[in-house]
Amino acid sequence: MDLVPTALVLGARLRAERHAQGLTQAQLAERAHVSRAFVIDLEQGRRAGAELARVLAVVRALGLVLAIGEDRRKTFDEALDDLLDGTP
């Protein structure tokens, strides 16, 4: 599962999936019941404050899910401590 740390990354992931499915922005907008302008803005990372329901509609229209999980990546300090201690 891919991490999506920013609206720009989310937009790029959605655009890549739309291309993979051979859909135009207009076709995706129709499937998701949103405007083409919304899809364009979302793909370009300009909808950071977008209504979640509309974002989820686009995600679902592409057959994807949006998952939330705990960020288990180590901080720089934790990784440095592990490196200095010789632990993985």
Looking at residue 33, its pLDDT comes to 95
pLDDT of residue 49: 73
Whole-prediction pTM value? 0.68
Task: Give the model's pLDDT for residue 48.
Answer: 64
Homologous superfamily (CATH) for 7-85: lambda repressor-like DNA-binding domains (1.10.260.40)
25, 16, 27: which is closest to 64 by C-alpha?
16
Amino acid occupying residue 73:
R
Residue 6: per-residue pLDDT: 79
Mean pLDDT by 10 residues, the chain (88 residues): 76 93 97 95 82 89 83 78 79
Look-up of token digits 């609206």: 7
Residue 43's pLDDT is 93
Domain boundaries, the chain: 7-85
Q: Confirm if 61 and 28 have CB atoms less than 8 A apart.
A: yes
Task: Report pLDDT for 76.
Answer: 80
